[in-house]
Amino acid sequence: MSLYEHVYLARQDASAQQVEELTAHLKGVVEGMGGTVAKTEYWGVKSLSYRLRKNRKAHFTLMNLSAPAAAINEIERLERLNEDVLRYLTIKVEEHEEGPSAMMRRAERDRDRDERRGERGDRGDRFDRGDRGDRFDRGDRPRDRDRRPSEGSDQPEAREE
Rounded-to-10 torsion of CA 23, 89, 32, 16? 0
At residue 138, the pLDDT reads: 66
* 116 vs 20, higher pLDDT: 20
Assign 38 a pLDDT band (cuts: 50, 70, 90).
Answer: very high
pLDDT tens digits for 45-95? 999 999 988 999 999 999 999 999 999 999 999 999 999 999 999 999 998
Distance, CA of 10 to CA of 86 (rounded, Å): 5
At residue 128, the pLDDT reads: 59
Q: What number is the average pLDDT over the span 104-129?
A: 69
Q: Average pLDDT of the chain? A: 83
* 99 vs 135, higher pLDDT: 99
At residue 88, the pLDDT reads: 96
pLDDT tens digits for 142-155? 666 666 666 666 66
Q: What is the pTM of this model?
A: 0.65
CA distances from 104 to 61, 115, 161 (A): 11, 17, 71
At residue 110, the pLDDT reads: 80
CATH 3.30.70.60 assigned to domain 2-94? The reply is yes
Strand ordering across the sheet containing 85-93 = 36-52, 55-67, 2-11, 85-93
Distance, CA of 30 to CA of 83 (rounded, Å): 20
Distance, CA of 64 to CA of 92 (rounded, Å): 10
Assign 116 a pLDDT band (cuts: 50, 70, 90).
Answer: confident
* Domains of the chain, residue spans: 2-94
